[in-house]
Amino acid sequence: MVTVWMKQKMIAAYEEWQADFVRLQEDGGWEDHHQELRENLIESIGGLPERTPLHARVTGSIERPDFRVEKILFESRPGFYVTANLYLPLLDLRPAKQNQQPPLVFVSSTGAAASLRSGLLPDKAARSGRRVIAVDPRGIGETAQKSLTGQGRFFGSDQEDVAAAYVLGESYLGLRTEDISRAVRYAAGNHAEAIELYAEGQMAVAALHAAFLEPDLISGTQLKNSLVSWESILVRERSFQQLANVVHGCLLHYDLPQLANELEGHLEMILPVDSLGLEILPEGAPLPPGYHDPDKPGLVGTFFSKASFLNPQGEFPLYVLSVDYDNAIEKRGNDWSGIWSGHLLGTATGNIELRGQTDQALSITVDGNSVLTLEDFTGTRSVTVKMEKGSFIP
């Protein structure tokens, strides 16, 4: 009943928006509409604080053949520091050699440190001579919430921070939007240089808000796997790790597609997702090039609170294959199960040994073939898999 009542409120809000849209088409007034939307957005995310000095400082550096990475801190608010990696290309600065692309602000839900891996966007951009700042908005990277167990993972790894912000009258999405905006201003420098913004996953909604609020500084925005709309949360009646992406009362004032429409011509949406994180692909449309290529380290996994793969407890990626589950630490008990999938990267050419140990059941499938199956078996077994150095095997 509660869901039905809330859907009725959403429908009423949408009908009011549609009436306003028709009125704008007939009478004009787009500038007034934009200003009203901006005011509603700012009010919804808790307002915009005073822009105080960033007090940025370098805490370390990493030398790469084509660029240097400086580890930096800057104050998003007085006393709250945001971590970031600044990529500084080592270029021949003669005019003919200069890279003409604007600086890039990169925001990923995996964090700035994880983005240091060779072959990812920051690495490629810096190698081409482009300045990049990979930033950790609060709750990401070095400020990620660590103490999280059980069912809470469905709400996101930052649920404790979201709750703390809410009871203190703050919007967590608004705080992340503020962090990204401050990073954009840091990248722009004193000359207010045009910036391009790229964000993916859980950071995309906050980046969309930042792009809408900073049109004079952000010349173009790319969002990958961004939540398509808050409406989808009510339509699907389920959501996964979206707590940090909602704003109190947002659907009474605006939805994410409205912000996207305002940025038309300056925004590219890549594989948007619904409230469960499932990618929305147009029916019959071909998959984008490289759709199945691995682009993040680790295996994607799900833990279940029952040994029969029942009652999923959320996402649990594996970043290394050598894992030893200690019940004294993990506290999962003796009745659980897990499934992981992804790609193995060959570290050498030849036969590679995979070893598994279980007290109940274990199965390993490589390239569609079951290579190791342990059912009702206690102990250790191994299997040899042929691999090629640098190649991925599903």
b/e sequence 301-328, b meaning 16+ C-beta within 10 Å? ebbbeeeeeeebbbeeeeeeeeeeeeee
Residue 194 to residue 144: CA distance in whole angstroms:
29
Query: Do 260 and 351 share a structural domain?
Result: no
For residue 258, give the nearest of 230, 239, 293, 238 by alpha carbon.
230
Same domain, 265 and 304: no
In 126-162, which positions are buried (b, 16+ CB within 10 angstroms) versus exposed (e)?
A: bbebbbbbbbbbbbbbebbbeeeeeebbbbbbbbbbb
Structural domain ending residue among the three candidates 255, 270, 285:
270
Which residues make beta-bridge pairs with 84? 72, 135
- Nearest CA to 226 among 184, 255, 196, 195? 255
pLDDT at 149: 45
Looking at the fold, whether 331 and 226 belong to one and the same domain comes out as: no
32: CB partners within 8 A, 6+ apart: none
254 shares a domain with 106: yes
Could you give the CA distance from residue 199 to residue 122 in angstroms, rounded to a whole number?
12
In a domain, 124, yes or no: yes
Same domain, yes or no: 190 and 314: no
Q: Is residue 362 part of a domain?
A: yes
Using alpha carbons, select from 144, 177, 174 the residue that is nearest to residue 161. Answer: 144
- In whole angstroms, give the CA distance from residue 245 to residue 252: 16
Q: What does the alpha-carbon distance between residue 82 and residue 229 come to, in Å, rounded to a whole number?
A: 27
317 contacts 114 by C-beta, under 8 angstroms: no
What CATH number is given to the structural domain containing 87? 3.40.50.1820
Confidence at residue 277, expressed as pLDDT on a 0 to 100 scale: 80
At position 217, the amino acid (one-letter code) is: L
Dist CA 366 CA 370 (whole Å): 6
**Among residues 169, 234, 164, which one has the least CA distance to residue 3?**
234
Tell me the mean pLDDT per 10 residues along the chain, length 394: 68 71 63 77 82 88 89 89 90 51 90 84 88 91 66 66 85 92 87 84 93 91 91 78 84 85 89 84 73 69 74 69 65 73 79 76 77 68 79 76
pLDDT number for residue 137: 93
Q: Is residue 23 part of a domain?
A: no
Which ranges of the chain does DSSP label H, i.e. alpha helix? 2-27, 30-44, 121-127, 159-167, 172-188, 204-213, 231-236, 256-262, 327-330
Task: Say whether both 236 and 369 belong to one domain.
Answer: no
Do 117 and 209 belong to one domain?
yes
Residue 372: predicted pLDDT: 73
Q: Domain check: are 125 and 163 in the same one?
A: yes
Task: Specify the pairing of strand 337-341 against strand 300-304.
Answer: antiparallel
Question: By three-state DSSP, how is residue 221 classified?
Answer: strand
Does residue 17 sit within a domain?
no
Residue 34 lies in a domain: no
The closest of 129, 134, 143, 82 to 113, measured between CA atoms, is 134
Q: Are residues 373 and 229 in the same domain?
A: no
Structural domain containing residue 147: 57-270
Looking at the fold, whether 164 and 241 belong to one and the same domain comes out as yes
107 shares its domain with 208: yes
Domain boundary among 224, 251, 270: 270
User: What amino acid occupies position 146?
Assistant: K
DSSP class per residue in 82-123: EEEEEEEE----SGGG---SPPEEEEETT-TTGGGSTTSHHH
Examine residue 292 and state whether it is found in any structural domain, yes or no: no
Domain count, the chain: 2
Residue 290 lies in a domain: no
- Position 286 in a domain: no
Say whether both 241 and 161 belong to one domain. Answer: yes
